[in-house]
Amino acid sequence: MFELLTETAVTGESLAQLSPLQVGDEGATNLAAGIAIGLAALGTGLAQRGIGSAAVGSVSEDSGNLAYALLFTVIPETLIIFGFLTIFLL
């Protein structure tokens, strides 16, 4: 956005003369990245709310289930990793 402002200052164009796409390309990308991370985090939270309580209950009954509990708790975390991946691809 700073480059756009300095370019318009040099060329004399006003921001009103530019199309909305020229003004907001970077903002739209940032908004899309924020939505991707927010929805990925929301999905992770919804998935882990049941898994976490079931994992704690399973481990409290049999401590041998700790590895399975950790594995099933970590699987939804991959959703947020995919969310971060979309930020770096945009």
Mean predicted lDDT score pLDDT of the chain: 77
16 in a structural domain: no
DSSP helix/strand/coil, 39:
helix
Convert the pLDDT of each residue in 23-55 to its tens digit.
456 777 788 888 878 888 888 888 888 898 999
Residue 59 belongs to what domain range? 24-89
30 in a structural domain: yes
Residue 40, Cβ density class (10 Å: 0-12 exposed, 13-18 middle, ≥19 buried): buried
CATH of the domain at 38: 1.20.20
11 in a structural domain: no
19 in a structural domain: no
Residue 83, Cβ density class (10 Å: 0-12 exposed, 13-18 middle, ≥19 buried): buried
pLDDT higher than threshold 60 for residue 70: yes
14 in a structural domain: no
Compute the residue count for the chain. Answer: 90
pLDDT higher than threshold 50 for residue 2: no
72 in a structural domain: yes
Percent of the chain whose pLDDT exceeds 70: 71
40 in a structural domain: yes
End-to-end alpha-carbon separation of the chain, Å?
Answer: 17
Q: How many domains does the chain have?
A: 1
